[in-house]
Amino acid sequence: MPPGITINDSLFLDVGITVAASYCSFGKSIIRSSPNETDYQIRGIAKIWPNKTQRDNNCDALQTQSVAVGATKGQLNDIYPILYTELKTNYISVIDIIE
C-alpha cells in the first residue's frame, strides 16, 4: 500500500459530514510533472476517506484534494515526499502512515 497521512483536524467534507482522524493518500492516483523554465511542476490528487479502515476496505473516497508544488529535476526520482509535505501544509495536525 502507498503511504498516507491521518488528518487529526476536524474536516467538513463536501458530502456534508464532519470527520476527525480522516485518512488521506495519493494512492494510485496519477501524478504529473511538467517542466517550467527552471524547474518542474508536480501535480497530484489526494483522496480523503473518513478513516484508514475505509480505504483498506476499498470504499470510495469522500473527497479529493488537488496538490501542486515546484521541484527540481533531481527531486523527480522521489516525488511523494514533496507532494505529502505540500499536502500537510493545509492541516494543523497530521500523522505520517508508512506502510
Positive or negative, the CA dihedral 10, 21, 51, 89 is positive
Bridge partners of 8, per DSSP, are none
Check residue 28 and report its DSSP letter: T
Q: Could you tell me the three cell numbers for 54? A: 475505509
Bridge partners of 59, per DSSP, are none
The residue extents of the domains of the chain are 4-97
pLDDT by residue for the chain (99 residues), tens digit each? 568 999 999 999 888 999 999 999 998 777 888 887 778 999 999 999 999 999 999 999 999 999 999 998 888 888 889 999 999 999 999 999 987
Is residue 49 a contact partner of residue 23, using CB atoms and an 8 Å limit?
Answer: yes
Report the predicted TM-score, pTM, of the whole model to 2 decimal places: 0.88
The C-alpha atoms of residue 75 and residue 80 are separated, in whole angstroms, by 10
Is residue 63 a contact partner of residue 87, using CB atoms and an 8 Å limit?
Answer: no
Bridge partners of 44, per DSSP, are 67
Is residue 40 a contact partner of residue 72, using CB atoms and an 8 Å limit?
Answer: yes
